[in-house]
Amino acid sequence: MLGYNLGEGLWLRLLERHHAEFLFVLTDRNRDHLRPWLPWVDEVRSIADSLNFIEEGLLRFAQGNGYELGIWLEEKLIGVIGVHEINRANSSASIGYWLDVEYQGRGIMTRAVIAVLDDLFFNRKLHRVEIRVAPENHRSRAIPERLGFRMEGILREAERHKDRWVDLVVYAILDREWKACRHP
C-alpha cells in the first residue's frame, strides 16, 4: 500500500476499488468548480466511471508507471493527486491534482505535491517532473511557482474541453533543483 502521512490528520493513500463511491461523491460535489479546468469531469457520471479511473491508476501502479492517490483528512476523501505515465526512457513524469473547494487555501495540496515530488525524485530517481495547468487557474499555478518549478512556456490549444480548446502552462522541475530546495 502506497501511503504518506502529511501530518495533522492528512494522508495520501493509493486509491483502491472500494474508494469508488467516495471518489464519485467528491467529484460530483465539486463538478461545477472543476469543470473549467478538467475536461474529464462531465464524463464521470456514475460510481462505475470513478471505479474505472481507480482501476486504470491501479494498473499503472502495478506496472510501475504511475499512481493515483487520494488525499484524506482523517477518513474523508478531499482530493486526488496523480502521477501520469512515468517515461522511463527520459526519466520523467507529470503530475496532476485537484482538491475539494471547501479545503482550498490551507496548504494541503502544496504538502501533497511535496510528498509526491519526494517520492519521484528520491525513491524513483526521476530526472524531471512537469505540471501542466490552464493559464487562468491561478490556485493551481501557485503550487509549482511556490515550489521552485520553472515556467517553460505555454502549449497553445493543447487540451480540448468539449467545444473549445484551452492553452496549458508548462512548469517543470529537475531532480537537482528539487534536491537543492529540499536540502539547501
Q: Cα–chain-centroid distance for residue 56?
A: 15
Q: Residue 113 maps to which CATH number?
A: 3.40.630.30
- Is there a contact between 44 and 24 (Cβ–Cβ < 8 Å)? yes
- Work out the mean pLDDT of the chain and round it to a whole number: 95
pLDDT tens digits for 61-116? 999 999 999 999 999 999 999 999 899 999 999 999 999 999 999 999 999 999 99
**Percentage of the chain lying above the pLDDT 70 cut:** 99
Q: Which domain, by its residues, includes 101?
A: 3-182
Total domains in the chain come to 1
Under 8 Å between Cβ of 16 and 54: yes
The answer to whether the CB of 153 falls within 8 A of the CB of 143 is no
Please report the pLDDT score of residue 163 as a whole number: 85
For the entire predicted model, the pTM comes to 0.95
Distance CA 125, CA 120 (A): 6
* Residue 183 pLDDT level (bands cut at 50, 70, 90): confident
23-34: per-residue pLDDT in tens?
A: 999 999 999 999
- What is the structure's pLDDT at 184? 64
